[in-house]
Structure 1
Amino acid sequence: MAHDDAVAVKEPQAPKESHARRWSGLGGGFIAKLLLMALVNALALTIIMSAWNAEAWAILTLSIVLIVAADIIYFAKRTLPLKYLYPGLVFLAIFQLFTLAYTGYVAFTNYGTGHAGSQQQAVEATLIQNERRVDGTPTVPLSIVRDGDTLGFAVTQDGIVSVGTEDDVLEPVGGAVVDANGRATEVPGWEVVSQNELFSDQDLQQAVIDLRVPVSDEAEDGSMRTRDGSSGAVYQSSIEWDDEAQTFTDKETGTVYYADQETGNFVADDGSRLPTGWSVTVGFDNFVRAVTDQNLAGPLLKVTLWTFAFAVLTVLTSFGLGLLFALIYNDDRIRGRKWMRTVFILPYAFPAFMSALLWRGMLNREFGIINDWFFFGADINWLGDPLLAKLAILWVNLWLSYPYWFLVCTGALQALPSETMEASRMDGAGRWRQFRSITLPLLMVSTAPLAISSFAFNFNNFTIIYMLTEGGPPFPGTSGLGSTDILISAIYNISGVSGGSADYGLASALSIIVFIVVGIISAIAFRQTRKLEEI
């Protein structure tokens, strides 16, 4: 009996999860992750192969590092936090850090119009630019042929049809059929492009005009070109490249151009240079040129001063007007405050670029309603006079900006402690004393950081400048800058995005300067605003 009493009673155990159910739970998620990472690796492999073909070693190395890190993070068990952080870090590195780093790199080069590629590309471009039709060569019937994405010429000469492409010289082919004009209509292994298709496709037309098919293995023999897609002739370059001596020689004048590795140009002894060069590192030359070039330094100084004035005046005027309306419509005695507030924030609801274009039309010298309605048809050149154009920009930007500060100040006023205001009234403080000693200091605690960010925004407010005046009226000279340009619009003009000669190196250098200036001012201002917290 004692033995029976000592027998331990086993506790019931939970039923074990079946292997199939465990596999369906864990394995399903693993398979989904495996498929997703397979897609990511396939995309990375495509980028790596493209970078290898383009000899972009930096992109190739970065792609390998990122994909290897991704595989380690998402297949390891102890990297749970990085599984969530890694995508954000990758996008930060690609779209922010890489952009900043590349801008910094370009700032120390002469990259721009005439210096957009490597030296080898500059050599090829120069040879092409100096091509001339060989005197005495006949015009021969020609057809455009295609094999997939590869275009070529089928040239008929002395009854023989020869086919060649940009990479392959003209070689005779058998079995071709020609029409009464001698043009090939059928070429074995090739699709003959019809004239109707050629005339209806502008991209194809440009590709055909740009196509050059070498007539032999010797580059000096020239290449076959066409202007109309139905006939061709042999063209040769009037300038000769010596790869060993790194020189160009003009066949007509005998002038020799040497490759200057410091400036990225082909320069002759008399100082003349060929129009096409290549990109090289120039150190701090772009930064020095911004302050020493007589055609650039003066306009840039005026642009810089106006940029600071524009940013400061915009913040002060819009903040002041917004605060004034906030104080007025925060008074309980005013009826219909909600409707009036809605009316006053309407400019904030319209897109800035549309509002700028609208004001541009209203300020038009001849047809604008501002002159017709408010100045009795006076001929006031609002956007053509330097001073009036600046006043117009300040006015339009005030109209666009004050609703923002109206909303901010209204919210800040409603958040002020009523006990403090009541105590000041009981102590005999008037409205002006309350505003100066209590309301404004407390408002600045919450609005000062926003004012700093507003300054930084208006320092780079490209939209209002470009849409309203496009930076004009222009400064006298050839700088390409205007009286209402701010630094960001000046950089836009210098970069050549809007047309004309591009100087990406100088534009990048100025971008770095703007970044440093805004960063320093913002850091100092934020540091000063900490003192307001002691109030």
Structure 2
Amino acid sequence: MSSAQAPAHRERTTTIPAVIARVVLLGAVLAVVAFTVPIAVAQKQWMWLVVMLLAAVAIFVVYSTKRFIPGKYLLPGTLFLAVFLITPIVLTIGYSFTNFGDGTRGTKEQAIEQIVANSVQQTDDSTWYNMSVAVEPGGDAAAGPFTLLLVDPASGEVLAGDAETSLEPVPASDVTVTSGFVTAAKDYEVLDARQVNTAYKALQELAVPVDDTSAVRVQGANQAFVGTTALSYDEASDTITNAATGETYTVGKVGDSEYFVGADGKRAFSQSWLQGVGGENYLRLFTNGAIAKQFGAAFVWTLVFALGSVLLTFVVGFALALVLNDERMKGRRLYRSVLLLPYAVPGFISLLVWSSFYNKDFGLINETLGLSLNWMGDPTLAKAAVLLTNLWMGFPYMFIVSTGALQAIPNDVMEAARMDGANRLQTTVKVVTPLLLVAVSPLLVASFAFNFNNFNAIQLLTEGGPFLPGEYTRGGTDILISMIYRIAFGGSGADFGFASAVSVALFALTGILAAIQFRFTNVLEDVN
């Protein structure tokens, strides 16, 4: 082989692994798209379908050619940023303009199906079937849509139907019946007992129409019956009629959502559907006196909690770092190792252990000090307990940061200050502290932002309590993020739309406060 041909040969050899890696990557992307697109279409997840297709196109454009070299490095991070940060923000903002919550999660059609299904009643002459539950290939086994495969115990006839399709006979060649139950069916995936149990709540809302006055309802894990439908929906007039009483229910607005209402204008059923409500959630947040008061109180305590946690942990950590930075102290490594122990214990374990320390009757603090303080029953004491626990968990971090910053300050600077007549206290306050703040101020801002949304410290220690009588939205130690959690998942019913509006407000407040803090920390640059 000539010397002129050798470089070309080596170049072709070194590109083979890159070509193989490119083919594997693009093939994997194509396989994922081929698998997930039908599922997204079946579940009508249009936004995620668009995001997935755009990501796949971008990957093929960037990695299928030798061009776009910078893009090969920027694209992965950009995709992760879009999927895990930007998309949740967009979804949260979008939900803040809706009534999304308990009873308003699905479409209007799903709400009507649920209302009609709940009106199906068993009669003395109801027909019973052996039931199997199935979904289409690739369908969601927990949420459906479901198809009921029914076997008549008397005749052995197999019937099938779903919420939109009336009960119809199924050819015997399309199903496999074992011990009176369908175990396999053409074009369907039959769910096993565990899957049926997981989806049982959704199955209870399913009604398979038989005719205008009857439908099939699920009873137990493997039985179904034909019952009489008391309610019927007329699509032309958009009304629901009660066959027993003759009463007709029309669509009317109650609060910020539409419901089926009676003649008196009151809602007849608890079910509604997902609707856009404009800025109603934000108006409710800022104009409802009770909610605005709770939000304001939570905001003030959130500021106190975040600032108090940062200041206390920094002061204690900085003081300990100063003491242990003195070369004259012996055993500094041992002391430093001991001080880092709280930081080595997982946070959730520390919080759960400390929550038991505050027990009024047999907690370690009251037992050791001979006190009888109701730490978790008094709002002021509960706040003090939260700050004390956060101090215990947070000062090792500040100790580590301050120790590193102190060791980075040249000894010449401190010696020059002493030569100018400054004592140790003056050197620490006027020389060491400003220089240290230059290094740690961004970390203090980050620590403030973390504690501003420190959900675990509240939920695992006090669960937001104590609560005033009749108050379920906000407890005495609830910060904004834990208050949002209570609104979204609280015992009074989930209200994701309103919780999203509060989340957007919290996001804006956090950004504004962080910007203000960074602006003030710029003053420290003059120290350099």
Q: Above 0.5 in TM-score?
A: yes
Tell me, yes or no, if the aligned pair for 1:133 and 1:233 is still in contact at 8 Å. yes
Distance 1:394 1:31, change over 3 A: closer
Tell me, yes or no, if the aligned pair for 1:161 and 1:173 is still in contact at 8 Å. no
Q: Deviations 1:101-132 (Å, cap 9, x if unpaired)? A: 11111111111111101111111111122332
Residues 117-516 of structure 1: pairs in structure 2 closer than 5 A: 117-134=106-123, 137-140=124-127, 142-145=129-132, 151-156=148-153, 159-167=154-162, 169-170=166-167, 190-191=182-183, 201-205=193-197, 210=203, 214=208, 216=210, 218-227=211-220, 229=222, 232-260=224-252, 263-273=257-267, 274-375=269-370, 378-496=371-489, 500-516=492-508
Distance 1:226 1:91, change over 3 A: same
CA distance in 1, matches of 2:404, 2:470: 49
**Helix, strand or coil at the partner of 2:213:** helix
Amino-acid identity (%): 36
Shift of 1:75: 1.8
Tell me, yes or no, if the aligned pair for 1:296 and 1:479 is still in contact at 8 Å. no
**Helix, strand or coil at the partner of 1:258:** strand
CA distance in 1, matches of 2:335, 2:11: 65
Tell me, yes or no, if the aligned pair for 2:252 and 2:260 is still in contact at 8 Å. yes
* Number of equivalences: 502
2:23 match:
34
Match for residue 79 of structure 2 among 58, 72, 90: 90
Shift of 1:224: 4.9
1:7 match:
none
2:518 equivalent to 1:526 = yes
Shift of 1:522: 1.0
What amino acid does structure 2 have at the position aligned with 1:103?
Answer: T
2:48 match:
59
For the pair shown, which has the larger CA radius of gyration, 1 or 2?
Answer: 1
**Helix, strand or coil at the partner of 2:150:** strand
Residues 74-89 of structure 1: pairs in structure 2 closer than 5 A: 74-89=63-78
Question: For structure 1, which runs of at least 5 residues remain unmatched after alignment?
Answer: 1-11, 177-183, 194-199
CA root-mean-square deviation? 3.1
Tell me, yes or no, if the aligned pair for 1:295 and 1:477 is still in contact at 8 Å. no
Shift of 1:170: 4.6
Tell me, yes or no, if the aligned pair for 2:117 and 2:207 is still in contact at 8 Å. no
Distance 1:133 1:295, change over 3 A: farther
Distance 1:70 1:433, change over 3 A: same
CA distance in 2, matches of 1:482, 1:175: 61
What amino acid does structure 2 have at the position aligned with 1:44?
Answer: V
TM-score, length-scaled by structure 2: 0.86
Distance 1:245 1:374, change over 3 A: same
